[in-house]
Amino acid sequence: MGKDVIIACDFASQEETLSFLDKFTGRKPFVKIGMELFYAEGPQIVRDIKARGHKIFLDLKLHDIPNTVKKAMAVLSRLDVDLVNLHAAGTKAMMEAALEGLTRPDGTRPLLIAVTQLTSTSQERMTEELLIEKPLPQVVMHYAKLAQEAGLDGVVCSPLESSAVHETCGKAFLTVTPGVRFADGEVGDQVRVMTPEQAKKIGSDYIVVGRPITKASDPVAAYERCIREFVD
């Protein structure tokens, strides 16, 4: 898969999500389904969106013992999603088990990426509460390397970390980056942001864009603008 824009469909119900997606009569966007929508509507929401021709990033961030993650991943794989994720903190054994679970009998599987440290985790909290004493950027890069060693396809990271991840893990290791805003748009609660054009320049493979598209007066136009700036 090449560079693409993934719309974060952070809606609370199937109704809201499908009426939003109804607006896209041309190109069918790659969409991200997160915990809120998945827990509200269950796996049927994935089947419904898939049946409409969208690619799906199922953002459930799995983290449990390897055997449980393996079995859960097998279920998600049967839902025919295109991209799923987990927490690298679950260890290499858990990531390897996840890959095993995801791999279908015919050898195909969804892409699997890892969350390193959540961007909501500060250096201070990580040191004091998690007792991880290394500098945060070093921890992020270490987890990215672990994910790569386990055979994963990439990581979710800040666009500001994309270049460093590619330097450490190579160009083929995917970086999927939220925190994207238009140059003339509202930033909202995101702190460190980049425009789609900047994210393209620094080498992000996928950008995850929520409110700049979902809350736009013309979501289709906002999506097309993202595509123009990031992909074309």
- Which CB atom, from 112 or from 156, has the smaller least distance to ligand C5P? 156
Applying CB under 6 A, among 8, 99, 150, 222 the residue interacting with ligand C5P is: 8
Residues 110-149 that bind ligand C5P (CB under 6 A): 118-119
Catalytic annotation, pick one of 28, 32, 50, 61: 61
- 97 CB-side CA count, 13 A: 19
Question: Is 61 part of the annotated catalytic residue set?
Answer: yes
Of 15, 51, 17, 9, the residue nearest 34 (C-alpha)? 9
C-alpha separations of 110 from 75, 78, 150, 158, 223 in Å: 12, 10, 15, 22, 24
Residue 180 per-residue DSSP state: B
Our measurement of the distance from residue 148's CA atom to the centroid of its chain's CA atoms, rounded to an integer in Å, reads: 16
| Residue 209 touches ligand C5P, criterion: CB under 6 A | yes
- Which CB atom, from 101 or from 212, has the smaller least distance to ligand C5P? 212
Applying CB under 6 A, among 29, 90, 101, 179 the residue interacting with ligand C5P is: 179
Contacts of 94 (CB under 8 A, 6+ apart): 63, 64, 65, 66, 69, 86
| Residue 190 touches ligand C5P, criterion: CB under 6 A | yes
- Which CB atom, from 24 or from 182, has the smaller least distance to ligand C5P? 182
| Residue 159 touches ligand C5P, criterion: CB under 6 A | no
Query: Which structure tokens are listed for 214?
Result: 């979902």
Which residues sit at the interface with ligand C5P, rule CB under 6 A?
A: 8, 10, 34, 118-119, 156, 178-179, 190, 208-212
